[in-house]
Structure 1
Amino acid sequence: MASTTTPVAPADYARAVIDPHAYAAWDPLLDRFDWLRANMPVARIEAPDDSHDPFWLLTRFDDAMKVSKANTTFLNHPRASVFGLKSSEALIKEITGGSPHLVESLVQIDAPKHPKLRRLTQDWFMPKNLVKLEGEIRKIANATVDRLLAHGSEGDFTKLVSSPYPLHVVMQILGVPEEDEGRMLVLTQQMFGGQDEDLSQSGLKNLTPEQIAQIVAGAVKDFEAYFAGLARHRRANPTDDLATVIANAVIDGEPMSDRDTAGYYIITASAGHDTTSASTAGAMLALARDPEQFARVKADRGLLAGIVEEAIRWTSPVQHFMRTAAEDTEVGGQAIAKGDWLMVNYVAANHDPERFEDPRRFDASRQANRHIAFGAGAHQCLGLHLARLEMRILFEALLDRLDSIELAGEPRRASSTFVGGLKALPLRWKAA
Structure 2
Amino acid sequence: MNAPITPTVDAPMIPPELVAPAFAPSTFADRDAVHALFTRLRRDYPLNQVEVPGYDPHWIVTKYADLREIARQDDIFHGGDRSKTLISQAGEELVKQYTGGQSNIFRSLVQLDPPEHKKYRDVAADSFSLASMKALKPMVDGIARDYAERFFAHAPEVDFAGEIAFHYPLKVVLDLIGVPEADHPKMLELTQWLFTWADPDLRRPGSNLEDPTEITKTWGIVFDEFEKYYTPIIEDRRRCPAHDLATVLANGKVDGGPLEHRALISYFIIASTAGHDTTAATTGTGMWQLAERPDILAMLKADPALIPGFVEETIRWATPVQQFVRSATQDYQIKGRTIKKGDLVYLSYLSANRDEEAFEDPFTFNPLRSPNRHVGFGFGGHTCLGIHLARMEMISFWQQVIPRLKSVTLTGTPRMAESEFVCGPKSVPIRFEVEPD
Q: 1:187 and 1:204, CA in 2 relative to 1: closer, same or farther beyond 3 A? A: closer
1:17 aligns with 2:26: no
Q: 1:259 and 1:204, CA in 2 relative to 1: closer, same or farther beyond 3 A? A: closer
SS at match of 2:431: strand
CA distance in 1 between counterparts of 2:75 and 2:219 reads 29
CA distance in 1 between counterparts of 2:348 and 2:172 reads 28
- Alignment of structure 1 residues 8-407 onto 2, 5 Å: 8-47=13-52, 49=53, 51-202=54-205, 206-407=209-410
SS at match of 1:423: strand
Query: 1:402 Cα deviation (Å)?
Result: 1.3
Q: Deviations over 1:282-302 (max 9, x none)?
A: 111111100011110111112
Judge conservation of contact 1:7–1:42 (CA < 8 Å) in 2. Answer: no
SS at match of 2:60: strand
CA distance in 2 between counterparts of 1:207 and 1:144 reads 39
Q: Deviations over 1:211-230 (max 9, x none)?
A: 23222221121011111121
CA distance in 1 between counterparts of 2:21 and 2:118 reads 35
Query: 1:27 Cα deviation (Å)?
Result: 1.1
Q: Deviations over 1:321-367 (max 9, x none)?
A: 01111111122321111110001100000000111111121111011
Partner amino acid, structure 1, of 2:70: V
- Identity percentage over the alignment? 38
Query: 1:4 Cα deviation (Å)?
Result: 6.8
CA distance in 2 between counterparts of 1:331 and 1:196 reads 36
Q: 1:203 and 1:312, CA in 2 relative to 1: closer, same or farther beyond 3 A? A: farther
Partner amino acid, structure 2, of 1:36: L
Partner amino acid, structure 2, of 1:139: G
Q: Which runs of 5+ in 1 are unaligned?
A: none
State TM-score, norm by structure 1: 0.96
Q: Deviations over 1:6-63 (max 9, x none)?
A: 421123322112111111111111111111111110121212x3x0101000010000
CA distance in 2 between counterparts of 1:160 and 1:408 reads 15
CA distance in 1 between counterparts of 2:204 and 2:154 reads 25
Partner amino acid, structure 2, of 1:258: H
CA distance in 1 between counterparts of 2:100 and 2:72 reads 31
Superposition RMSD in Å: 1.4
Q: Deviations over 1:354-402 (max 9, x none)?
A: 1111112111101110011111111111000100000000001111221
SS at match of 1:102: coil
SS at match of 1:124: helix
Judge conservation of contact 1:4–1:334 (CA < 8 Å) in 2. Answer: no
Partner amino acid, structure 2, of 1:141: A
Query: 1:258 Cα deviation (Å)?
Result: 1.4
Match of 2:3 in 1: none
Query: 1:206 Cα deviation (Å)?
Result: 4.3
SS at match of 2:426: strand
Judge conservation of contact 2:204–2:218 (CA < 8 Å) in 1. Answer: no
Match of 1:7 in 2: 12
